[in-house]
Chains A and B, each alone.
Chain A
Amino acid sequence: MPGLTCSSHQCADTVAETTILSRLYSFLALTMHYPDPELCNTVFFEAMTSLLESLGSQTELSLLRDWLNQTPDPLNDLRTAYTHLFITADSGETIPPYASIYRDGNGTLQGRSTEQIRNFYRQCGFDITDTNEPADHIRFQLDFLAALTSEARFEDEQFFLQTFFRPWFELFQKKFMQEARHPFYTVSIQLIDFFTKEEQ
């Protein structure tokens, strides 16, 4: 079990880096929210665009820009896409964003993983705000990472990523990327992958 404070060798060098990492996780969590008008506005898409520019991710940048250029109503478009991808789909292509589906063997919600993840939040002094959703929804996990990193608790962050997050996320991402998916979510999921992956 990791300590609850930052271990110096893993800390980012500056406070600024800590803040930006926490913001990044929060931002990524927002991409996994059901889209609401607060989210689907110019400011949000500009932030995503500038993030991709900073990363030099040209392919993803064009994916996002092409989509933004051709969609007359991004909010409506994202709502249908989110429902299709993560809630229910007419073609059975839903990829639920919950860890237990991928990790617990029988494909149901609220499995052992859900319980273990929530317990870990609590051991770290956090809990979820909306208990209608299982605690292992990807957005809670990203919000949790944002909360940990805002306190510079990088050891906990790394432990969570390795023990809980990456093992299911990789399966989730693989399923998602197997078929042609919505450009906004393809980009979001790749960003999540990039920022949660262990560095080689």
Chain B
Amino acid sequence: MATNLTRRNFLKAASIAAASVPLSQVTAKAQSGVVKAPLVSPGSFKNTQTAVGGVCEMCFWRCQLVGKVRDGRLIKLEGNPKSIDNGEAICARGNAGVAMLYDPDRLKYPLKNVGERGAPKWQRISWEEALDTCATKLKTIIDRDGAKGLCFFGHGSHAKYLMDFLERTVSTPNISEASFFQCRGVRDTAYLATLDIAPDENVDMANAKVIFFTGTHIGENIHLSHAKNYLRGLEQGAKLIVVDPRYSASAAKSHIWVQIRPGTDTAFVLAIMNYLIQNKKYNADFVEEHGEGFAEMAKGIREWTLEKAAEECDVPASQIKEVADLMAANMPHVAIHPGRHTTWYGNDFQRCRALACLTGLLGAIGCKGGLVLPKGPKGLTRINWPYVPHEEDSVLRDVADEHHFSPPGTPTELLRDAAISGKPYPIKGAVICGQNIMQCMPNQEKTIKMLKQMEFVLCVDIMPTDSTMYADILLPDCSYLEKSDFIKTGQQWDLGKDPQQYIAPRMPLVAPGFERKDSIWITNELAKRMGYGDKIPAQNQEELADKALAGVNLSLAKIKAEGGIHVQPGVSPYDDIDDLTVHFYNEDMEDEGYPPIPTYVPIEQPPQGFVRLVYGRTPLHTFNRTANNPWLVNEAKTNPLWVNDKLAARLGLKEGDTIKLTNQDGVTSPTTTTVKVTPGIREDVVYLYHGYGTKNPEMTQAVNRGIDDNSLITKIAVDPESGAHGMRNNFVKIVKVS
């Protein structure tokens, strides 16, 4: 600073008088941020207390937590010792919740974009201004175009209440919950069409004799009680069969690793079923009692000999036989995992249906080691926004007469196309809550086009993401550690043990910092301003939880006194399948013009010079959601590209080389990553962890780190039955940078 004075001289200088008066005018009115308080001696704040009632949401398995809190500050997270689910264990991501809570990049105040969408310039505004603006903008669109002029993208418990308000009461039909729709939704509808049940991941691996995974990689995909369930099965001697083009963490523990050609899993499963049927090695009693259309299916899949499948899947026929024989020898105690994130190739409904049929063929349902029906606690009161019917002709899949076995919600591709084209109706308002659509919908250019044509985009989140860059108003939500918005229920993780059930409502472990507000408050405030104040189902998060818990004669206070989790006697999930029907042949599907028996639909193979790009998880991140977490970044800094050793030699690549990727449409990844050379992947495939390559510089840890696989998924494959995106149908060339 250009002055000849020192502070002391200045204070003594005569010139100070000139500044003194105006300074006092300003400061006399100022409110200090510091006030007199009782004198506290050192050491008085050292008492660490245990806050109970945490429910993790670093991923969506929702383990139960306690927090060590000192002077309002969260020091450490631990599993809740009362938990009969995750117990005292939490994973690396769960532990790193502390760093999420105090991430300086987190959203802190309502923000208004005074720049452009996609290249925002933010200005902090008051909640009043933010909510008034949002309500006016959304209302203007509804008044002009109807509720169908809005769409919603949401993920997680943060989004649920806001989604229900928009879908049920405002009655917009354009709801895309990618976390479900593009992930587990296809699996659930395929199983519903086959077994009349949505399977979730209710597979009793702990008590299985054989565990069968297609593309499932537990160990990389960590959900704690599920991982315990799986490991207990292995400890007790279950044989593990893993079908995967890559030597995953699960493949590394397998007895049989089927290194399949990607996209051919359905052919593999059909050949197993055909072999079991032809050789009378299936569970005939079960099929007799519960099967429907068995003969039609048996006839329809006859062409799938071991040899034919061997050629299609590029695996030895003897290996398919070995897998089938192992299952037959151990049925019904075969845990056929239904999978998670099941949208791969745009032929996924049929693959999931084939898995469900195989489960039925082995009678591996409702028994030890099989697929089970959940027996969680019953009786929680359903509290929700009142349902107001949608306008006629507004549900896009009905208008398009497509995707008749779609999961609840709107097929994302239909939604995006409608918004871009304005047909069958314009969609000009987007509300996005907790979902990073830029990294979960393929073809980012189209997503940007969709967002840019909107009149108004509202984002509610805890962090900036590549999607929040497109918001007009950006609202700061409380994280899962700062609010109560969800009640986790379930049973003990090892189903073979004494049946028990639990009810664990989320409770805040610390108060929300800055001006963050929970999404229930945000939704209610919006609703009031939009004219739906009389429809609000609960005035705040505590009331919402207490009303739900009243159905089982509990309350937040009671459960808090019980240590954050209510545990009660449970019911065994075994032997409850009297009403079960296995639809080997599904007439409803036939009526809608889809194959009524599980059918293999071949996919395009890589063109000359290209390899297929597939992606998955690292156990240290939940995709992009945790990409900015400094503790986790420290452990998993980037996403090296898995390249087969022979392919690497041919391309002149070695371990650690820096590369870019260019896809079949000429799109090049804007960022780089390194090469991991391994024999543990087929030569026609390369593999990345998903969630890297963040573009938003507001995520200071994550920005430009690794490659975003989604930026290379420009070719779109849509599952005809479900309308979900298959996201492993793009091909890349590896470009060495250094």
Contacts and interface: CB of A to CB of B under 8 A. Distances in A.
Interface in B130-164: none
B35 A17 contact: no
A109 B71 contact: no
B104 A107 contact: yes
Contacts of A55: 1, 3, 5, 10
B114 A80 contact: yes
Interface string B96-135: 0001011111011101001100011111100000000000
A143 B11 contact: no
B39 A34 contact: no
The secondary structure that dominates the A interface is: helix
B325 interface: no
A30 B31 CA distance: 9
B123 A57 contact: no
A90 B73 contact: no
B73 A47 contact: no
A109 B23 contact: no
Interface string A171-190: 00000000000000000001
A69 interface: no
B22 A126 contact: no
Given A90-B120, A129-B34, A199-B8, A57 B19 contact: no
A115 B27 contact: no
Contacts of A194: 1, 3, 7
Contact of B7 (A88, A122, A197): A197
A38 B26 CA distance: 9
Contact of B18 (A53, A82, A94, A106): A53
Given A17-B11, A92-B698, A109 B26 contact: no
B37 interface: yes
Given A26-B30, A108-B630, A115-B70, A46 B35 contact: no
Given A84-B122, A90-B121, A143 B33 contact: yes
Nearest to A56: B3
A21 B11 contact: yes
Nearest to B101: A110
A90 B27 contact: no
Interface in B1-54: 1-8, 10-13, 15-16, 18-20, 22-27, 29-42, 44-45
A118 B72 CA distance: 12
A115 B45 contact: yes
B19 A53 contact: yes
A90 B71 CA distance: 34
Nearest to A200: B6
Interface string A154-174: 000000000000000000000
B7 A110 contact: no
Interface extent on B, as a size class?
35 or more
Contacts of B630: 106-108
Given A27-B23, A110-B102, A199-B7, A122 B40 contact: yes
Contacts of A7: none
A47 B104 contact: no
B511 A131 contact: yes
Interface string A75-104: 010011011100111111010101001000
Given A125-B36, A128-B33, A54 B16 contact: yes
Nearest to B25: A43
A108 B511 contact: no
A124 to B, nearest CB: 8
B700 interface: yes
B26 A89 contact: no
A126 B23 contact: no
B703 interface: yes
B102 A109 contact: yes
B3 A23 contact: no
Contacts of A88: 105, 107-108, 111, 122, 464, 698
A129 B33 contact: yes
Interface string A35-47: 0001000011011
Contacts of A133: 33, 513-514
Interface string A135-169: 00101100110110000000000000000000000
B515 interface: yes
Contacts of B697: 89-92
Given A94-B698, A129-B33, A147-B32, A17 B12 contact: yes
B405 interface: no
A20 B15 CA distance: 12
B3 A140 contact: no
A195 B37 contact: no
A6 interface: no
A58 B698 CA distance: 35
Contact of A190 (B1, B13, B70, B515): B1
A96 B37 CA distance: 27
State the 4 A-B residue pairs at the shortest beta-carbon distance, nearest first: A92-B697, A47-B22, A127-B37, A122-B40
29 contacts: A17-B11, A20-B19, A20-B20, A29-B32, A29-B33, A34-B124, A55-B1, A55-B5, A55-B10, A59-B2, A82-B124, A83-B111, A88-B108, A90-B119, A90-B122, A90-B469, A107-B630, A109-B104, A115-B70, A119-B45, A123-B40, A126-B34, A128-B33, A128-B34, A130-B33, A132-B512, A140-B33, A143-B33, A200-B6
Interface of A: 12-13, 17, 20-21, 23-24, 26-27, 29-30, 34, 38, 43-44, 46-47, 50-51, 53-60, 76, 79-80, 82-84, 87-92, 94, 96, 98, 101, 106-111, 114-115, 118-119, 121-134, 137, 139-140, 143-144, 146-147, 190-191, 193-195, 197, 199-200
Given A12-B11, A83-B124, A90-B469, 7 more contacts: A47-B19, A54-B13, A57-B3, A87-B124, A96-B104, A119-B40, A147-B36
